[in-house]
Amino acid sequence: MFPVIKLASETLTERYNPSLFNYFHETFNQGFLVAEKHHKIVGFIVGVKTSLEGARILMIAVSEKQRGQNTGSVLLNHFLKEIIIQKIKHVELEVKISNNIAIEFYRKHGFIIIDTISKFYQSGEDAYTMRLIL
């Protein structure tokens, strides 16, 4: 679990209690996926079921060196396949309104902006809520 926590601290601006990673892995391990290259974790996605028909992506991260090499898309697509098996009908996530690269990534995969949440992040920055209907 430590390599995932290390990657999160290197790539994500939010800080998370390390015990959260174990909790999410134990409660919905189908939504906790990692990408490896040469036996090293280069990306991960953490998602959870939120209802019988809904899921939420909580975190997705890819190492700087691995970006632009389709790792994020592979992780997201594997996550979506896993939750479709669970009969999930929609997936939501939050993204900083200033994170244009992530917003375009999610749009490319069919997500649309459905709401804005004021001061969602620790920094006080607003977030968009994005949704994908499966």
Tokens read off for 130: 């994005």
Q: Give the model confidence (pLDDT) of 14-37 as tens digits.
A: 778 778 888 888 888 899 999 999
Counts for the chain of helices (H) and strands (E), in that order? 4, 6
Beta strands 54-62 and 112-117 are unpaired
Q: pTM of the full predicted structure?
A: 0.88
Helix, strand, coil tally for the chain in percent (to 5): 35, 35, 30
Q: Give the model confidence (pLDDT) of 61-74 as tens digits.
A: 999 888 888 999 99
Q: What is the pLDDT of residue 45?
A: 95
Is pLDDT larger for residue 101 or for residue 2?
101
> In order of start, what are the domains of the chain with their CATH numbers?
2-133 (3.40.630.30)
